[in-house]
Amino acid sequence: MKKVVNEYITYLSPEFIYVPFDNVELLKIKSDKKVYNNTYLGDNNDNTKIFSPVSGEIKGIVDMHYTKGLSKALIIENDFTDKREKLNFTKNVGKIKKSEIIETLEKYNLNKKLNSKTILVINSLYDKETDLKDMVINHESYEEILETIDEFMEIFGMKTCYICIDKDDLYSIEAYEKYINAFLNICIVHSNKKFKDETCVFYSIEEILAIHKAIHLDYLYDNTIVTIKSEDTTIVKVKKYTSLYELLKALKITYKSKNIYVNNKPIDNIKTFVIDSSVRSIEIKD
């Protein structure tokens, strides 16, 4: 297992990505159809904002499937440079106004109503057979996660943070134990059952990494991690909105004449399914 933790595969240069949207009238597309990594593309019906995770050119609109269901999607042809319109310097969060932090979190769809809640709960999921996503994130980024939690708590007046890690996820626990003693109000627990919506605000481990990138660099967190279980277990860091078909083909994972499950649910058409941050496990069975 230790080899798996340290040696995941990256697939961050898909030929095309498929960015979902709700309403074409709410899109903000430039006339030349060119986009940068982190380009604002418009809003959804619920006012959440849409960004491009790659640089390239918009080629059209197509119907694609996601874990949430069928959606219209912008087809963006990747130019493989990940060029940004501007390069942002790392910000000192201690010198940024709270209102600016809230504005940035809202920009990247990471702001949640605190309503005077003082307990922060971070959920880390784990299944040793099919879902190693959070274990890899924890192992690789525990320092950034703890420091971001500490900053978040100070900004919003939170008193305590509980990181909920499965007791069998020993690699995650081991990673945090290297550094967690530096933070008096952050602790590890093995269940989130006692925490209630009325008193707690909940984030995932991946959302905390996204907050780190948002408030320090004003950038979208543009990738995610999936666990592919077939004959072997493969962990892949992949660009958001990559086609599942392109990913399996690029990794030379056999899928034809087999049943494919995403987050334990069957997928009917692999060619129209798109990976976003909600995808955790991909199982390929005979």
154 vs 5 pLDDT, higher one: 154
Share of the chain above pLDDT 70, in %: 98
Q: What is the pLDDT of residues 71-82, one digit of tens each?
A: 999 999 999 999
pLDDT at 21 over 90: yes
Helix (H) or strand (E) holding 105: helix 98-107
- The dihedral through the CA atoms of 32, 88, 220, 107 has a sign that is negative
Q: What is the pLDDT of residues 84-104, one digit of tens each?
A: 998 888 999 989 999 999 999
pLDDT category of residue 1 using cuts at 50, 70 and 90: very low
Q: What is the pLDDT of residues 178-208, one digit of tens each?
A: 999 999 999 999 999 999 988 999 999 999 9
Distance CA 256, CA 270 (A): 10
Cβ pair 249, 228 in contact under 8 A: no
pLDDT category of residue 32 using cuts at 50, 70 and 90: very high
pLDDT at 3 over 80: no
Distance CA 201, CA 187 (A): 15
pLDDT category of residue 264 using cuts at 50, 70 and 90: very high
Cβ partners under 8 Å of residue 272, min gap 6 = 63, 64, 65
Q: What is the mean pLDDT of the chain?
A: 95
pLDDT category of residue 5 using cuts at 50, 70 and 90: low
pLDDT at 114 over 90: no
Query: For 221-227, what is the mean pLDDT?
Result: 97
Query: For 1-27, what is the mean pLDDT?
Result: 85
